[in-house]
Chain A
Amino acid sequence: LAKTTQPISMDSYEGQEVNITCSHNNIATNDYITWYQQFPSQGPRFIIQGYKTKVTNEVASLFIPADRKSSTLSLPRVSLSDTAVYYCLVATDRGSTLGRLYFGRGTQLTVWP
């Protein structure tokens, strides 16, 4: 089962680049990797999704090595409003009644002025 492991917390300063790595050693061939952002008392918000190599959108980049056993979310030039919990999600055993959707425990990112 493709459970995920992330750092519990990270600190950064405004304007810096932040990289959060998620480990998913048992990821299956057809699984996608998705990252979400969550503020207190709100539902998670989609940030970025990828299958392999690199994906970039207007807010973040996602790097996935060839073995796909990990992925790194990169946030360029963070601001105070990026302070939130970031979750890594991998779907596993798709199509199986034993399939699971796993969120990582989440990484609390705190951005300081």
Chain B
Amino acid sequence: KAGVTQTPRYLIKTRGQQVTLSCSPISGHRSVSWYQQTPGQGLQFLFEYFSETQRNKGNFPGRFSGRQFSNSRSEMNVSTLELGDSALYLCASSLGLPGDGETQYFGPGTRLLVL
């Protein structure tokens, strides 16, 4: 069974631009979570989707948004990019909700560099 895939793997943008990242969960998984990882802040939770509904959201500004499609694939969008948005963005999928004991499986991440 294929693992979690994320595209693109690497991305370079300039301040003020917007970006869309894509995540394809493991087949059959209905929950997708997004995280931001930076050297200074570590892994921080962005949002979680289950069956096309956002179930939880982390403490990030409204510039960060996401959605989930009927096939469980998910996208996250960052508008008006800032230098501080440079990070590794990780997607994780699980059969059900992670807090209900479901294991999350992570993708390789998308490394975003904002210049």
Contact = CB atoms under 8 A, between A and B. Distances in A.
Of the candidates A32, A45, A104, A105, the one having the most CB atoms from chain B within 10 angstroms of its own CB is A32
B42 A101 contact: no
Interface in A84-113: 87, 91-94, 96-97, 99-106
Of the candidates A42, A51, A105, the one having the most CB atoms from chain B within 10 angstroms of its own CB is A42
A51 B33 contact: no
Contacts, number: 70
Given A43-B92, A103-B43, A91 B98 contact: yes
Main SS at interface, chain B: strand
B48 interface: yes
Interface stretch (B14-22, B62-70, B79-87, B101-109): B101-109
Interface residues of A, number: 28
A32 B43 contact: no
A51 B106 contact: no
Nearest to A42: B108
Interface of A: 30-32, 34, 36, 41-46, 49, 51, 87, 91-94, 96-97, 99-106
